Amino acid sequence: MAEHGTELGCLGAIVEIKDRGGVEQAIVIPGHGYERANGIADTRAENDAIAACRDRMPERFPGAVGIVEPPRIGQIPVTIELFDRL
Per-10-residue mean pLDDT, the chain, length 86:
48 86 91 78 85 90 83 59 60
Which one, of 32, 34, 2, lies nearest residue 18 by Cα? 2
pTM for the whole structure: 0.66
Angle at 14 between CA 73 and CA 35, to 5 degrees: 35
CA 82, distance to chain mean position in Å, is 12
What confidence score (pLDDT) does residue 2 get?
42
- How far apart CA 8 and CA 81 sit, in angstroms, is 27
Angle at 49 between CA 30 and CA 81, to 5 degrees: 90
Collapsing DSSP states into helix, strand and coil, what is residue 5? helix
What confidence score (pLDDT) does residue 86 get?
58
What confidence score (pLDDT) does residue 72 get?
59
